[in-house]
Chains A and B, each alone.
Chain A
Amino acid sequence: MKSQQYDATTRIAEIERQQKALRDRLDTEQANLRELARRLWAQQESEKARLSRELHDGIGQLLTGLTRRLQSLSTDNNEFLALTEIAELALADVRQLSRMMSPTILDDLGLKPALKWLCRNLLDAENIDYTCDIALKSDIPKEQAILLFRICQEALVNAVKHSEANRIQISLHQHHQIIRLDITDNGKGFDTAAVEKGIGLSSMADRASAFDAELQLDSKPDLGTHITLTVSL
């Protein structure tokens, strides 16, 4: 009887040990996957940076040259003026595209000016009334700064394209080691259960989880959309 009890106890201990080993392995695998995901996102960033530089230094420089020559030629000739204007627009577009692809402002000046710049560039032209309230207490590590910037960019682009909102609130706050980004619009919203997650939405969530951040999306038809990203430093 006693030895039976002993056997059972050893077997339970053995099973527990095996379970712990499995759990540990699972944890390690998950950590590896997250690490891989992070590396993929980082790679995407550096690829975008390369393309952005090529756009800026290649086509950008050619268009700068073209614009300058046209500017120096154009006098009172309307045709010339129109051509100059088109060249200037093309140059402005290439610059804008290049900067949105790889926001050097984030490296140069940090997250707060970068987000203000993003809002101004994406929302001013659309006649969307917005507030951008940022209160950060410490410097944000580069990885997290890029995450916050990209999620904000994606959310604002979605809002501009789909929401028909005329008012957007952006707020970024820090509480100890936690950063919270809130983006709220007063647009037409959508039924989160009915709408299949498009590439934009699911890639935002994927990206957040790769950096141990949490993305929450609340939306109802006619009641706008609210996105929250919580990042721990």
Chain B
Amino acid sequence: MTIKIVLADDHVLMRQGLVQVINTDTTISVIGECGDGVELIEQVIRLKPDVVVMDISMPKMSGLVAIDKLLSQRPDCRILVLSMHNELEYIEAMQEAGAKGYVLKESSSDILIDAIKAVYHGKTAFLANNADTESKPLQRTSPLNVLTRREREVFFLVAAGNTSKQIAGLLTMSLKTAENHRSNIYKKLNVSSSAELIRLAGRAGLLE
């Protein structure tokens, strides 16, 4: 079983180098390469890779927008960002956007391969190995912290695609109560539809 990768970077030389590095590990294989965000989304939908390895600054569509689109199409998509920027703000923004890892382009190939494997196995890999991140460890708070226990149950049922009526049946509550929970959850999480809720759950890594 090999880990299937789609790789996006607009610098062809950089990309070729990366493919070489990644392919030295026999358990990983690059099944698609592209040079901009639009192509990336097209390839991810078509090739269904296990992990997306992508640059942030790309033509046609910025990395941030591309991550957003990718996750709205495939909320369970595992994204590893590969970047030349070692600033804290970049790492935070990518983490908030829903990436699972962040590796610097100047990192050694071991670090990159380890990060790909970690992300594939559902872990996070924010290994920017710079002073910024060491002094201020990133803390990710779960969006579910604002919900009550009952609301969390409803949250997961909504995320699993259940209607209010089905949820009412599953949790033995009235339809009205289920709908109330649902609207409270939407308000607290600032979403307006179940699609948005699923997307948020996907970004927060709650869909596994």
Binding site for B on A (CB under 8 A): 64, 104-105, 107-110, 113-114, 116-117, 120
CB-CB under 8 A for A108 and B57, given A113-B92, A113-B93 = yes
* Structural contact, B88 and A105, CB atoms closer than 8 A: no
* Structural contact, B89 and A113, CB atoms closer than 8 A: yes
The contact of B63 among A64, A108, A117, by CB within 8 Å, is A108
A113 to B64 alpha-carbon distance, docked (Å): 12
CB distance from A61 to the nearest CB of B (A): 11
Question: Which residues in B have their C-beta under 8 angstroms from that of A64?
Answer: 106
* Structural contact, A108 and B90, CB atoms closer than 8 A: yes
The contact of A105 among B63, B90, B106, by CB within 8 Å, is B90
Question: Which residues in A have their C-beta under 8 angstroms from that of B89?
Answer: 105, 109, 113-114, 116-117, 120
The contact of B93 among A104, A107, A109, A120, by CB within 8 Å, is A109
Binding site for A on B (CB under 8 A): 56-57, 62-64, 85, 87-90, 92-93, 106
For the complex of A and B, list the 5 residue pairs with the smallest distance between their C-beta atoms, beginning with the closest.
A113-B89, A117-B89, A109-B93, A113-B93, A108-B56
* Residue with the highest number of chain B CB atoms closer than 10 Å, among A64, A107, A109: A109
* Residue with the highest number of chain B CB atoms closer than 10 Å, among A104, A107, A113, A117: A113
In the complex, what residue of chain B is closest to A113 when comparing beta carbons?
B89
The contact of B87 among A105, A107, A110, by CB within 8 Å, is A105
CB distance from B68 to the nearest CB of A (A): 12
By DSSP majority rule, is chain A's interface helix, strand, loop, or mixed? helix
Question: Which residues in B have their C-beta under 8 angstroms from that of A110?
Answer: 64
A115 to B106 alpha-carbon distance, docked (Å): 25
A109 to B93 alpha-carbon distance, docked (Å): 7
* Residue with the highest number of chain B CB atoms closer than 10 Å, among A64, A105, A108, A110: A108
CB distance from A32 to the nearest CB of B (A): 33
Question: Which residues in B have their C-beta under 8 angstroms from that of A113?
Answer: 89-90, 92-93
4 extra interchain contacts, Cβ-Cβ under 8 A, other than A117-B87, A120-B89? A64-B106, A108-B62, A113-B89, A114-B89
CB distance from A135 to the nearest CB of B (A): 14
* Structural contact, A120 and B88, CB atoms closer than 8 A: yes
The contact of A108 among B64, B88, B92, B106, by CB within 8 Å, is B64
Question: Which residues in A have their C-beta under 8 angstroms from that of B63?
Answer: 108
Question: Which residues in B have their C-beta under 8 angstroms from that of A120?
Answer: 88-89
Question: Which residues in A have their C-beta under 8 angstroms from that of B92?
Answer: 113
The contact of A107 among B57, B90, B106, by CB within 8 Å, is B57
The contact of B62 among A107, A114, A116, A117, by CB within 8 Å, is A107
Question: Which residues in A have their C-beta under 8 angstroms from that of B85?
Answer: 104-105, 108
CB distance from B8 to the nearest CB of A (A): 15
A109 to B64 alpha-carbon distance, docked (Å): 7
CB distance from A50 to the nearest CB of B (A): 16
Question: Which residues in A have their C-beta under 8 angstroms from that of B93?
Answer: 109, 113
6 interchain pairs, CB-CB under 8 A: A64-B106, A105-B89, A108-B63, A109-B64, A109-B93, A114-B89
CB distance from B7 to the nearest CB of A (A): 19
A116 to B93 alpha-carbon distance, docked (Å): 12
CB distance from B89 to the nearest CB of A (A): 4
Question: Which residues in B have their C-beta under 8 angstroms from that of A105?
Answer: 85, 87, 89-90
CB distance from A59 to the nearest CB of B (A): 16
